[in-house]
């Protein structure tokens, strides 16, 4: 069956929007629904994609025979449009099925992991682009080098961010894949850590060539026919690791990248923080296994500008610095805070955190509190619910009460700017996967005005 229209339910999501852009590029009529306007939906509309923001079945293309419907599992099952297309003869598939279909027949290079995958996959796409190999890339964030979450190329190489949510990554059968982490997350889907790990092992079993895992992850040759290699930040037991590590005063690292066939000397990561060195090694490992020239990897690492909302530095001066990060899992917070401490030793760190999802807050309250206790002052916001309904007894207070940071305050997001305006800020970090990013502009403007007035 040939489709002329592709309709997206939840088009504004980062993964959905990349596929919508791909379909638009391929010449389909692309339209869709999302709950709220955003910068991303505005960009899609500029590209000619029609979007509406009401649950309205009248906006769905009228011919089921010529319309493919793609939805995100984050959409409630009883949403009127989703119910309608299922009951009226439309072909309805998940985003992950569409991505798996696009990947079929291509040289798919995938990055999976409960954290680190967006920066790593974006960096891998940048390496392949700089090297001249080129690739199409479906990314979980907006690349700062290219201003988009979709790269298009006429080559048969595809980079995919392999998302574990709803077991979506099991639609992929990559040629080469990296796995960055297998921590407990999405327990509303998996119920416990064992099931999370089981899904990652199944993903590894679907890789046809090489699996590159972070040193310490339990992926063995009994679980996959693919070759298994390991990477690490600086552990020489791994196949890929950094040596001769040097850090400058702004937190940028230069290092020698050791790999099975030699050493790439004097690599400099274009974004700061030790965690990004580790991400760089993972991306470089995939590129090296695919055959990318070592000197091109060195060049690409240096010119990488990062991903919006992934350790995203908005202000960086000796008097005040501001970093925004998507961290919404305790392990991500722990890594980000550790990287910030490494960059700015001895300085006061004020962190703003917006918890994401009631279930995640409930499941990891103790771990969130432990990670956030490592800042000097915590400003904790209300939970961002996303797709979830409230759970009785689950509020930000169950984190707040257990935090042992020297200073802490619990406020609403409406109170955030007045609160920050009163603060004597040295290092400020905002964390979360909800709508906390809406504050990046106002916070940056406030801090720049302060600096200008010094």
Same domain for 294 and 157: yes
Pairing of strands 150-151, 136-138: antiparallel
Same domain for 160 and 279: yes
pTM, whole model, 2 decimals? 0.90
User: At 433, is the pLDDT very low, low, confident or very high (cuts 50, 70, 90)?
Assistant: very high
Same domain for 124 and 10: no
Q: At 333, which CATH number? A: 3.90.190.20
**How many domains does one find in the chain?**
3
Same domain for 318 and 240: no
Question: What is the mean pLDDT of the segment spanning 208-214?
Answer: 98
Position 218 scores a pLDDT of 95
User: At 387, is the pLDDT very low, low, confident or very high (cuts 50, 70, 90)?
Assistant: confident
Position 90 scores a pLDDT of 98
Point out the domain boundary residue: 303, 332, 359: 303
User: At 440, is the pLDDT very low, low, confident or very high (cuts 50, 70, 90)?
Assistant: very high
Position 243 scores a pLDDT of 98
* pLDDT tens sequence across 231-281: 999 999 999 999 999 998 888 999 999 999 999 999 999 999 999 999 999
* pLDDT tens sequence across 305-323: 999 999 999 999 989 999 9
Question: What is the mean pLDDT of the segment spanning 286-297?
Answer: 98
> Residue with structure tokens 């993964």?
15
* pLDDT tens sequence across 123-137: 999 999 999 999 999
Same domain for 335 and 442: yes
CA distance linking residue 141 with residue 147, whole number of Å = 10
Same domain for 316 and 205: no
Same domain for 289 and 153: yes
Point out the domain boundary residue: 303, 328, 352: 303
Q: Tell me, rounded to whole angstroms, the distance of Cα 227 from its chain centroid.
A: 26
CA distance linking residue 336 with residue 375, whole number of Å = 11
Same domain for 380 and 267: no
Position 1 scores a pLDDT of 55
Same domain for 318 and 289: no
Range of the domain at 281: 104-303
Question: What is the mean pLDDT of the segment spanning 388-405?
Answer: 97
**What's 328's DSSP letter?**
-
DSSP states of 259-271: ETTEEEEEEE-SS
Contacts of 415 (CB under 8 A, 6+ apart): none
Same domain for 288 and 177: yes
pLDDT over 90 percentage in the chain: 93
pLDDT(374) > 90: yes
pLDDT(29) > 60: yes
Averaged pLDDT score across all residues of the chain: 96
Contact 121, 150 (CB under 8 A): no
Point out the domain boundary residue: 303, 333, 357: 303
**What's 53's DSSP letter?**
-
pLDDT over 70 percentage in the chain: 100
Which has the closest alpha carbon to 321: 283, 350, 278? 350
User: At 156, is the pLDDT very low, low, confident or very high (cuts 50, 70, 90)?
Assistant: very high
Same domain for 220 and 110: yes
Q: At 19, which CATH number? A: 3.40.50.720
Position 251 scores a pLDDT of 85
Same domain for 349 and 284: no
Position 322 scores a pLDDT of 97
């Amino acid at each position: 069956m040939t489709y002329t229209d592709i309709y997206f339910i939840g088009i504004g999501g980062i993964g959905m929007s990349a596929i919508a852009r791909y379909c638009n590029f391929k010449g389909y009529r692309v339209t869709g629904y999302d709950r709220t306007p955003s910068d991303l939906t505005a960009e899609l509309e500029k590209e000619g994609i029609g979007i509406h923001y009401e649950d309205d079945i009248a906006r769905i293309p009228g011919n089921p025979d010529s319309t493919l419907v793609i939805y995100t599992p984050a959409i409630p099952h009883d949403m009127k449009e989703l119910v309608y297309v299922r009951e009226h003869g439309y072909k309805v598939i998940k985003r992950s099925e569409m991505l798996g279909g696009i990947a079929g027949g291509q040289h798919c290079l995938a990055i999976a992991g409960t954290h680190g995958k967006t920066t790593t996959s974006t960096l891998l796409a940048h390496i392949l682009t700089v090297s001249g190999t080129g690739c199409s890339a479906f990314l979980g964030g907006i690349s700062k080098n290219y201003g988009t979450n979709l790269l298009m190329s006429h080559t048969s190489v595809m980079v995919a961010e392999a998302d574990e949510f709803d077991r979506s990554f099991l639609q992929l059968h990559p040629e080469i894949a990296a796995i960055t982490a297998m921590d407990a997350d999405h327990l509303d889907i998996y119920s416990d850590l064992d099931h999370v790990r089981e899904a990652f092992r199944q993903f590894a079993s679907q890789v046809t060539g090489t699996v590159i895992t972070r040193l310490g992850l339990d992926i063995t040759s009994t679980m996959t026919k693919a070759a298994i290699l390991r990477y690490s930040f600086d552990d020489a037991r791994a196949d890929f690791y950094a040596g001769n590590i040097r850090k400058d005063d702004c937190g940028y690292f230069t290092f020698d990248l050791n790999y099975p066939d030699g050493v790439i000397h004097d690599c400099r990561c274009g974004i700061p923080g030790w965690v990004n060195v580790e991400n760089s090694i993972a991306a470089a490992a995939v590129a090296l296994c695919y055959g990318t020239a070592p000197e091109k990897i060195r060049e690409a690492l240096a010119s990488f500008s990062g991903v919006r909302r992934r350790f995203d530095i908005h202000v960086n001066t000796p008097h005040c610095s501001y970093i925004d990060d998507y961290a919404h899992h305790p392990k991500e917070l722990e890594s980000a805070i550790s990287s910030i401490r490494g960059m700015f030793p001895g300085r006061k760190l004020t962190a703003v955190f917006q918890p994401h999802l009631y279930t995640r807050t409930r499941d990891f309250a103790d771990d969130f509190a432990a990670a956030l206790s490592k800042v000097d002052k915590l400003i904790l916001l209300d939970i961002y619910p996303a797709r979830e309904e409230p759970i009785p007894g689950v509020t930000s207070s169950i984190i707040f009460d257990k935090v042992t940071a020297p200073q802490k305050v619990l406020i609403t997001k409406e109170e955030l700017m007045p609160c920050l305006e009163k603060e004597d800020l040295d290092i400020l970090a905002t964390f979360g996967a909800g709508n906390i990013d809406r504050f990046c502009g106002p916070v940056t403007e406030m801090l720049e005005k302060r600096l200008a007035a010094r």
